[in-house]
Amino acid sequence: MKTGISGIVALIVVLVLVIVGFGSIYTVRQTEQALVVRLGEPVRVVTEPGLNFKIPFIDSVISIDKRILDLENPAQEIIANDQRRLVVDAFARYKIKNALRFYQSIGSIQAANIQLTTLLNAAMRRVLGEVTFIQIVRDERENLMNKIREQLDKEADGYGISVVDVRIRRADLPEANSQAVYQRMQTERQREAAEFRAQGGQKAQEIRSKADREATVIIADANSTAEQTRGAGDGERNRLFAEAYGKDADFFAFYRSMTAYENGLKSNDTRFLLRPDSEFFRFFANPSGKPAAAKAQ
């Protein structure tokens, strides 16, 4: 009987020791840092990963992420120094560098995101409100993002947070203003295109008129040269004919008649209403071209 009671007591003692043993150890992962709280009061911060010990049932462990965290900020409308409205879409990267201060001031990642969003918007309005639209979108964008990060990091330091980076994803005019700008740009480009087309048409007309004028001059010169050449050829032909006629009048008369036959009898339907003994056909009746009466004598 006593042996059974002793076994039960021993088992209970073992169970208590196991529970106390498991309650006195905790593990810190590589991506976390641990804050040990004793009766509601922070005791220590553990940043190195591994197995650690605490007082069971008295100490509690709060795990806090030590990785770089994302802060997505909704697009905000900001007025630049030149009174131009623009929509700025930005985001930030931060990490918790002081777990105790973070726990005492904010306590959770969700609360930190809300607080940092407010601080980020305020920093953007201060920094971007001092410069012009062109400086924001083109000239000094990198420098402005660094200024915003520095201001946000300074304000977030009181919450145990370190701001790693701030980036402006997009900075543009509001949709209504953008449409007006695009419409104005389109109108300007259409005006320039119409001007270029008018200048091109004028230039084409000038080139076409010059080409027509040069063509007219070239054709006139060619016609004049052709007429001169033709006149010289006709004169040479007449001279040759006259010279041939002077040497052999009968041959010249024969040649002239053959040419007349060739030109007059070209077509298949050529008809002549002439007497057979007419002068035109004298070489048909007699190869010498003399009249029949003259041949009889």
147 and 97 in contact (C-beta within 8 Å)?
no
Average pLDDT on 184-212 reads 87
Average pLDDT on 41-56 reads 78
User: Rounded mean pLDDT of the chain?
Assistant: 80
pLDDT of residue 242: 75
User: Rounded to whole angstroms, what are the CA distances from 252 to 129, 240, 247, 260, 295?
Assistant: 111, 11, 9, 12, 20
pLDDT of residue 295: 43
3-state helix, strand, coil in the chain (%, to 5): 60, 20, 20
- Residue 184: pLDDT above 80? no
pLDDT of residue 296: 41
Q: What angle do CA 280, 283, 284 make, to 5 degrees?
A: 90
pTM value? 0.54
Residues in the chain: 297
Average pLDDT on 11-24 reads 62
- The segment with the largest mean pLDDT, out of 40-49, 53-62, 110-119, 176-185, is 110-119
265: exposed, middle or buried (C-beta count within 10 Å: 0-12, 13-18, 19+)?
exposed
What pLDDT, in 10s, does the model give residues 241-255? 777 766 766 677 777
pLDDT of residue 268: 67
